[in-house]
């Protein structure tokens, strides 16, 4: 099976712009989670989607949004970019469904730099 | 994450054992996890432990869980240069994981 893919791998934007990142989960996986990784804050949970619905949400401002399509692919959008949004954005996929065991398979990430 | 704490750095000689420690605050998580991140890559799940277990062994990896003290450790036996990476402990349910800051393990010859 192909792993989790994220596009683009690298992105440079300027303050005030918006950006859309894409994640394709492992075939058959229905849950997609997004994380932000920065040197200062570490790995922080953004949100999780399952069957096109946002099921969980972290503590990020409304500038951060996402969606999931019927094929389970997911996108996240950040509007009005700030310098502090520079980070590695990681996507993870899971089979989904009701389970307390949450093995998440991570993609390589998208490195966003905001100038 | 503020719910999970780890020491930041560990240096170990090749062939020795590495022990990475982690403390957590949320005792309700059903599972606790150890992830590995190599440079330029995403996270790879190394192992996990069910919260009702004290120990789990998986080849060179041994996970110890002290639920009373909310302490989790990962021991890597016979550490190799390929084990150089950042190691994260994580907890959480419902597909929302909280991670520690990560321990950078450097293996020296």
Is the backbone peptide bond immediately before A8 cis, with ω within 30 degrees of 0? yes
Please tell me if residue A42 touches chain B, with a CB cutoff of 8 Å: yes
Q: Can you give the pLDDT at residue A113?
A: 97
CA–CA separation, A67 and B75 (whole Å): 39
Interface test mutation site (partner B, options A31, A104, A109, max chain B beta carbons within 10 A)? A104
Residues in chain A, pLDDT under 70: 1, 98-100, 102
Digitized pLDDT (tens) for each residue of chain B, 109 residues in all: 448 999 899 999 999 999 999 999 888 888 899 999 998 888 999 999 998 999 999 999 999 999 999 999 999 999 999 999 999 999 987 678 899 999 999 999 8
What is the structure's pLDDT at A48? 94
- Report yes or no: B88 and B105 within 8 Å, Cβ to Cβ: no
Nearest neighbour of A43 by CB, restricted to B1, B31, B94: B1
Angle formed at CA B25 by CA B54 and CA B58, multiple of 5 degrees: 30
| B24: contact with A, CB 8 A cutoff | no
Nearest-neighbour CA in chain A from B107: distance (Å): 22
- Give the C-alpha separation, B69 to A21, whole Å: 40
- Regarding beta strands A110-114 and B85-91, do their DSSP bridges make them parallel or antiparallel, or are they unpaired? unpaired
d(CA A101, CA A114): 35
CB B34 within 8 A of CB B47: yes
């Amino acid at each position: 099976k192909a792993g989790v893919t994220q596009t683009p791998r690298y992105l440079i934007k300027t303050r005030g712009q918006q950006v859309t990142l894409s994640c394709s989960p492992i075939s058959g996986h229905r849950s997609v989670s997004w994380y932000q990784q920065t040197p200062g804050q570490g790995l922080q949970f953004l949100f999780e989607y399952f069957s096109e619905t946002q099921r969980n949400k972290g503590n990020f401002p409304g500038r951060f949004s996402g969606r999931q399509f019927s094929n389970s692919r997911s996108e996240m959008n950040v509007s009005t970019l700030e310098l502090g949004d520079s980070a590695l954005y990681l996507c993870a996929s899971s089979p989904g469904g009701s389970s307390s065991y949450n093995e998440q398979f991570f993609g390589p990430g998208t490195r966003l730099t905001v100038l | 994450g503020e719910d999970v704490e780890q020491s930041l750095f560990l240096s170990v000689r090749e062939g020795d054992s590495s022990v990475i420690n982690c403390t957590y605050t949320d005792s309700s998580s059903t599972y606790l996890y150890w992830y590995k991140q190599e440079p330029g890559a995403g996270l790879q799940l190394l192992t996990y432990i069910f919260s009702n277990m004290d120990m789990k062994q998986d080849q060179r990896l041994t996970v110890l869980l002290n639920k009373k003290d909310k302490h989790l450790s990962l021991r890597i036996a016979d550490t190799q240069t390929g084990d150089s990476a950042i190691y994260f402990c994580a907890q959480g349910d419902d597909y929302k994981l909280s991670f520690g800051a990560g321990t950078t393990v450097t293996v020296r010859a």
